[in-house]
């Protein structure tokens, strides 16, 4: 092959390579923008999600505390009802004699 043809082929290959690298660079820039965009980027979404979960943890702890309180009140009411029924039975059994 002629050196001029080889040089022309190499020049064309370099131009093709340069175009491909430029396309890849543009795609990389687009991906970077999607990741790091301060308003809608992925990193911003993750930060908002983490903030939301941290806020939810406090609410979940409050709900657990309310459940524990409710269980305590339920047991107290059961004991009170049992005592009242026991007292009524005793009063009724004393009146029947």
- pLDDT higher for 62 or 39? 62
Angle at Cα 88 formed by Cα 85 and Cα 92, nearest 5°?
140
How far, in Å, CA of 64 to CA of 44, rounded?
A: 30
Report whether pLDDT(19) > 80. yes
Convert the pLDDT of each residue in 55-64 to its tens digit.
899 899 999 9
Phi, psi at 30, each rounded to 5°: -65, -45
Q: What are phi and psi of 23, to 5 degrees?
A: -65, -45
pLDDT value at residue 12: 92
Whether residue 75 is predicted with pLDDT greater than 80 in this model: the reply is yes
Residues 44 and 37: beta-carbon distance below 8 Å: yes
Q: Is the dihedral of CA 11, 13, 16, 18 positive or negative?
A: negative
Q: 1 pLDDT band (50/70/90 cuts)?
A: low
């Amino acid at each position: 092959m002629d050196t001029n043809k080889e040089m022309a082929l190499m020049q064309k290959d370099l131009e093709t390579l340069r175009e491909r690298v430029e396309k890849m660079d543009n795609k990389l820039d687009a991906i970077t923008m999607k990741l790091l965009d301060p308003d809608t980027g992925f990193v911003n979404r993750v930060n908002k999600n983490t903030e939301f979960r941290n806020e939810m943890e406090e609410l979940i702890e409050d709900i657990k505390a309310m459940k524990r309180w409710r269980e305590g009140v339920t047991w107290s009411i059961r004991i009170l009802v049992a005592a009242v029924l026991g007292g009524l039975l005793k009063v009724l059994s004393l009146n029947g004699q």
